[in-house]
Structure 1
Amino acid sequence: MIKFSVSCRYADAGVRDEFKPNTIDVIADVKTERVVVLGGSGFVGSAICKNAVSKGIEVISLSRSGRPTSPSPWVDQVTWIPGDVFYVNWDEVLVGATAVVSTLGGFGSEEQMRRINGEANVVAVNAAKEYGIPKFILISVHDYNLPSFLLSSGYFTGKRKAESEVLSKYPNSGVVLRPGFIYGKRRVDGFEIPLDWIGEPVERILRATENFTKPLSSLPASDVLLTSPVSVDDVASAAINAISDDDFFGIFTIEQIKEAAEKVRV
């Protein structure tokens, strides 16, 4: 909350005292975004942190690895908290936040995937709701039109469980982004893996041939080959748009993610 005064003066010395204006106190609400990124030191999480910092948003990251090793200047502008969502003291993370973005997810055994993709996000959603955080954004995954027996894996069931929790607890402000293959420059153990060398050409090819391949989209598992990749910057920009746009909620497909990203860049 910012309070400031407006004072008006007249050059005419003949103005009577009773008509001389007084100082006016004006109260203005200035919204300051304070975003918590869960998994902020990961591939997608770090892109969201970087994008948010560039927009002047205050960013707090909670991840098991804490501060990343990247020497980029934006890293110094993020508050890095090492911790696990199952054991963290949420007072140190959520107080004063205006939105939570979760990039939590991963592969492993069936039990591990259900826990990290589903249960971890459910814990985070409920904590955010308990602390009165007005918006929750989940980075989920496209289902690739896979047959049901493949979608029953711990990875997909965990993600869908997390989605349900977001949309249940935040029916009018929860956001679920469903990207497919995410490309960009990914750092692993100090080495940079240029996933954009694969993702960008494939995205261009699929975009150029979409009129020919669209009739095939109804075939089971066809999306595995026909779904367009999406850049990590587009996913990050869409998340930033979700933070700032109160009319942006619900489930968003790959094309809708790209459209939302374009709004932020304009």
Structure 2
Amino acid sequence: MASFMSISSLSSSSSPLFRVPLPTRLSSPSHNRFCNFRVRCSYAEPSVSGDARSDTIDVVADVKAERIVVLGGNGFVGSAICKAAVSKGIEAVSLNRSGRPTFPGSWVDQVTWVPGDVFYANWDEVLVGATAVVSTLGGIGSEEQMQRINGEANIVAVNAAKDFGVPKFILISVHDYNLPSFLLSNGYFTGKRKAESEVLSKYPNSGVVFRPGFIYGRRRVDGFELPLDLIGEPLERILGATQNITRPLSSLPASDLLLAPPVSVDDLALAVLNAVRDDDFFGVFTIEQIKEAAANVKV
């Protein structure tokens, strides 16, 4: 995302023809949200022949260098987001309890791993210069634990990001599966919804909430890899092919436990990158909208 801040003085009566050799790839400084670069431009008056050269002018542009902070970046979803960010030239910083993961991957060396707990984090170390915070925090446990990790931890992170002037916050939440209200009253869902409200309140024009259902991919658990894609990928295709038949059933309570299409963890990561880069991308996004956002990045 580049914006030209100033162009050296041009005569109002002239009609310059610019030939600006902009670089194809810009490096991202570690602790600066913007990087300056200078290019030389040549222009010619209408009365001057095309092969004649006139004085050059300087064009100075401030180019936004994306720097995202991923909370829970070494988990299933968080690591996919970090990996996707690195592949797109976006600087990624991960804040998580265990720090650098033990699994292999060349992209791992390109992520800044910061060990820490959201409730006790030294935000100066991670949020300065960030252009977006992405939270993948969430978990299942007792009612108190789910309220704390799904709700309170995310709320703390939202407020920290706001205090440090981070312009965008992206929350990975959860689809409600069309469940009846009494089933949505447990700590997992109520915690997530409280976190959503905080994001949309503190970031009304730039906060993003993704509500995926079942997320599939290669998930590492205690050193083992669970091939969730063997279930999720064919199921996604089947539900996609039969959606015209199953759509009338979507109004039935809890129907989405069976009918909500799974989402690839890679697609969710790409949707996050779309949200990071698009200033007009904000609000709550459903499963289908997540896939559409991912498709935009793939193109």
TM > 0.5 fold call: yes
Amino acid of the structure 2 residue aligned with 1:39: G
Residue 204 of structure 2 corresponds to 171
Residue 55 of structure 1 corresponds to 88
Matching of residue 86 in structure 1 with residue 119 in structure 2: yes
After superposing on structure 2, the runs of 4+ consecutive aligned residues of structure 1 that deviate more than 6 Å are none
Matching of residue 32 in structure 1 with residue 65 in structure 2: yes
- Over 3 Å counting, the alpha-carbon distance change for 1:226 and 1:89 in structure 2 is same
**Is contact 1:234-1:257 (8 Å) kept?**
yes
Residue 242 of structure 2 corresponds to 209
Counting matched residue pairs gives 257
**Is contact 1:5-1:23 (8 Å) kept?**
no
Matching of residue 108 in structure 1 with residue 108 in structure 2: no
Residue 144 of structure 1 corresponds to 177
Rounded to whole Å, the distance in 2 between the matches of 1:9 and 1:101 is 44
Matching of residue 4 in structure 1 with residue 24 in structure 2: no
Q: 1:6: Cα distance to partner?
A: 2.4
Q: 1:210: Cα distance to partner?
A: 1.1
Residue 133 of structure 1 corresponds to 166
TM-score by length of 1: 0.94
Residue 98 of structure 2 corresponds to 65
Residue 16 of structure 1 corresponds to none
Please list the CA deviations of residues 112-155 of structure 1 after superposition, one character each: whole Å capped at 9, or x if unmatched: 00000000000000000000000000000000010111100000
- Over 3 Å counting, the alpha-carbon distance change for 1:208 and 1:23 in structure 2 is closer
Q: Unaligned 5+ residue runs, structure 2?
A: 1-34, 45-52
Q: 1:65: Cα distance to partner?
A: 1.5
Identity of aligned residues (%): 79
Amino acid of the structure 1 residue aligned with 2:211: R
Rounded to whole Å, the distance in 1 between the matches of 2:205 and 2:55 is 43
Rounded to whole Å, the distance in 2 between the matches of 1:9 and 1:149 is 69
Please list the CA deviations of residues 159-197 of structure 1 after superposition, one character each: whole Å capped at 9, or x if unmatched: 000000000000000000000000000011111100011
Please list the CA deviations of residues 23-48 of structure 1 after superposition, one character each: whole Å capped at 9, or x if unmatched: 53322011100000000000000000
Match of 1:42 among 71, 75, 82: 75
Residue 230 of structure 2 corresponds to 197
Match of 2:155 among 100, 112, 122: 122
- Over 3 Å counting, the alpha-carbon distance change for 1:5 and 1:72 in structure 2 is closer
**Is contact 1:48-1:239 (8 Å) kept?**
yes
Q: 1:81: Cα distance to partner?
A: 0.3
Q: 1:3: Cα distance to partner?
A: 4.2
Rounded to whole Å, the distance in 1 between the matches of 2:111 and 2:161 is 20
**Is contact 2:43-2:56 (8 Å) kept?**
no
**Is contact 1:3-1:25 (8 Å) kept?**
no
Amino acid of the structure 1 residue aligned with 2:36: I
Amino acid of the structure 2 residue aligned with 1:137: I
Equivalent position SS for 2:63: coil
- Over 3 Å counting, the alpha-carbon distance change for 1:172 and 1:8 in structure 2 is closer
Q: Relative contact order: is structure 1 or structure 2 higher (C-alpha 8 Å, sep ≥ 6)?
A: 1
Rounded to whole Å, the distance in 2 between the matches of 1:128 and 1:50 is 22
**Is contact 1:240-1:264 (8 Å) kept?**
yes
TM-score by length of 2: 0.83
Residue 15 of structure 1 corresponds to none
